[in-house]
Chains A and B, each alone.
Chain A
Amino acid sequence: MSAPVVTRPSATVSEGAGTARRVPGEPGVWLLVLLDMSVFAVLFVAFLLDRRNEPEAFAAGQADLTLVLGLVNTLVLVTSSALVAGVVRRSRAGVGGTERLLLGSLACGVVFGVLKVVEWAHLLDKGVEPDTGTYSMWFFVLTGLHLVHLLIGSLGLVTLLVIGRRDAHREVAADRRALVEVVATYWHMVDLLWLVIFPLVYLGAS
């Protein structure tokens, strides 16, 4: 007994005169990314307004952070994005060798998460808690939300690894390539968000 066949709608955008541009992944993931980034955009604006109202408190809060940890995490995430881009390229070309790249990007995600938890623990040890002040509230909200997104993206990477191993000896189906692009789109969004959060939270007040 076979499952009903589900055909994925063609994800193309017409550009007229017989040419068509394919939407990476599928349109739905872009809806999700748009909604998610809109919420973050509102948060960024609110953060900037609070910073304008309390510049001294924000500068003092920023002094409690370890800039090196933020910088290392930025490099780690950018590296992971480059590795994921490699996965997409290889997937589109239909060649193998994506597993090591996926493991590398996943390892970057784990390093990022561990460093973030270390940083939180360090701050909590110093008595800086989510409710301590406006800056610490924003720090935990923005980095916490971002970490949740990173965990979701990591789950996506694990899914690609599992599916890749299962389908190792089969020809890669178009649906699988679309899934790679969906996960990559989400992962790049996580990276992009961090590239805004890092300067805002770690560098902005100085």
Chain B
Amino acid sequence: MSAASIVEEGTVQSTVPDPASAAAGDPGLRVLAVAGVAGVALILSGMLVSGYIPAPGAAWSPERIQEFYAGAATQRRLGIFLMILGTPLFGALVAGMSRVLVLGGGNRGGWANLQTVVGGCGTVLLVLFAMVLAVAAYRPERDAEITQALHDLGWYFAFISAVPFVIQALAIAWVVLRSGVLPRQFGWANLSVAILLLPGAAMLFFHTGPVAYDGLLTFWVPLTDFGLWMLLLAWGMWVSADRDAVAGERR
């Protein structure tokens, strides 16, 4: 019997290796979980260093945006560099969660695959967020309107792109609530993440207020929500590591 069929059906064999010893020999998911935590730390510290917390205002003039990038340019570039290092690490959480969901037999109907695909899209959007902001910071002496357009584009990659992350959180919640691969509260927390991220997609219509891209619903709530979500996913992978190691031993 293949390991895949074992985990798909959720059957338990009498010859199961000792989980503790198996986990000790194979760090497995825990490496990905740590990578995810490192990703949160790098993204948030990068945003702080580059002056993106609090966010530049959606109603700022092109000249003000240009001044923002021209002032303390090296510090901003250093922060963006940290973000460039951190954003791809979201992929570690996507890969690890896919493994966790499959361990629970959660790929019935393709839900674990959905999590992987939209999580992959989300990872690309996060990387583009950091890269486009890097371009904005690279030549702040250019025409102010071009710098503003690049800044808007970078910000949009991260904050209007709520929908893939919402679908990802919903897919995780669906599998967890149906399979019990993780505690039910984990599934509910993912549903909460999805609902709190969703309003970010409305920032297109506003330049001021809570839904402008520096607002409560499109910046502060999603930023907090997303950071805590990454830690939550890392925790889910950490506590599933023993089961993953056992499945690996069977193989």
Residues of A within 8 A of B (CB): 1, 3-4, 6-9, 26-29, 31-32, 35-36, 39, 42-43, 46, 130-131, 134, 137-138, 140-141, 144-145, 148-149, 152
- The answer to whether A4 and B184 touch (CB under 8 A), given A35-B196, A131-B205, A148-B199, is no
Count of CB-CB pairs between chains A and B under 8 Å: 79
Selected from A8, A39, A130, A138, the residue in CB contact (under 8 A) with B184 is A8
Contact A137–B195 (Cβ < 8 Å)? no
Task: Give CA–CA (A155, B180) in the complex, Å.
Answer: 23
Among the 9-residue stretches B93-101, B208-216, B242-250, the one with 4 or more Cβ atoms under 8 Å from chain A is: B208-216
B11 to chain A minimum Cβ distance, whole angstroms, is 9
- The answer to whether A32 and B192 touch (CB under 8 A), given A6-B179, A8-B184, is yes
Residues of B within 8 A of A (CB): 9-10, 104-105, 108, 178-180, 184-185, 187-189, 191-192, 195-196, 198-199, 202, 205-211, 216-217, 221
A33, closest chain B residue (CB)? B192
Contact B209–A137 (Cβ < 8 Å)? yes
B59, closest chain A residue (CB)? A131
Contact B210–A141 (Cβ < 8 Å)? yes
Selected from A3, A39, A130, the residue in CB contact (under 8 A) with B221 is A39
Task: Give CA–CA (A28, B104) in the complex, Å.
Answer: 20
- For B189, the chain A residues whose CB sits under 8 A away are 28, 31
- The answer to whether A36 and B206 touch (CB under 8 A), given A27-B185, A28-B187, A148-B199, is no
- Chain B interface SS verdict (over half): helix
Selected from B9, B178, B184, the residue in CB contact (under 8 A) with A9 is B184
Task: Give CA–CA (A26, B178) in the complex, Å.
Answer: 14
Contact B208–A137 (Cβ < 8 Å)? yes
Contact A35–B205 (Cβ < 8 Å)? no
- For A28, the chain B residues whose CB sits under 8 A away are 184-185, 187-189, 191
- For A149, the chain B residues whose CB sits under 8 A away are 195
Contact A29–B180 (Cβ < 8 Å)? no
- For A7, the chain B residues whose CB sits under 8 A away are 180
- For B202, the chain A residues whose CB sits under 8 A away are 141, 144
Contact A3–B188 (Cβ < 8 Å)? no
Selected from B10, B210, B221, the residue in CB contact (under 8 A) with A46 is B210
- For B104, the chain A residues whose CB sits under 8 A away are 4
Task: Give CA–CA (A35, B193) in the complex, Å.
Answer: 10
- For A42, the chain B residues whose CB sits under 8 A away are 216
B224 to chain A minimum Cβ distance, whole angstroms, is 11
- For B199, the chain A residues whose CB sits under 8 A away are 145, 148
- For B108, the chain A residues whose CB sits under 8 A away are 3
Contact A134–B209 (Cβ < 8 Å)? yes
Contact A35–B216 (Cβ < 8 Å)? no
- For A3, the chain B residues whose CB sits under 8 A away are 10, 105, 108, 179
B175 to chain A minimum Cβ distance, whole angstroms, is 11
- For A152, the chain B residues whose CB sits under 8 A away are 195
A4, closest chain B residue (CB)? B10
Selected from A9, A32, A134, the residue in CB contact (under 8 A) with B191 is A32
- The answer to whether A36 and B195 touch (CB under 8 A), given A4-B180, A144-B202, is yes
Task: Give CA–CA (A149, B191) in the complex, Å.
Answer: 13
Task: Give CA–CA (A144, B187) in the complex, Å.
Answer: 26
- For B210, the chain A residues whose CB sits under 8 A away are 43, 46, 141
- The answer to whether A31 and B105 touch (CB under 8 A), given A134-B209, A141-B209, A145-B199, is no
Closest 5 CB pairs of A and B: A28-B188, A4-B10, A6-B180, A130-B205, A137-B209
Contact A39–B105 (Cβ < 8 Å)? no
Task: Give CA–CA (A145, B206) in the complex, Å.
Answer: 14
- For A43, the chain B residues whose CB sits under 8 A away are 210, 216-217
B115 to chain A minimum Cβ distance, whole angstroms, is 18
> Besides the contacts A6-B179, A28-B189, A141-B209, what 13 more A-B pairs have beta carbons closer than 8 Å?
A3-B10, A3-B179, A4-B10, A4-B104, A28-B185, A28-B188, A31-B192, A39-B221, A130-B205, A140-B205, A141-B210, A145-B199, A152-B195
B190 to chain A minimum Cβ distance, whole angstroms, is 10
Contact B196–A39 (Cβ < 8 Å)? yes
Task: Give CA–CA (A134, B86) in the complex, Å.
Answer: 37
Selected from A1, A46, A137, the residue in CB contact (under 8 A) with B9 is A1
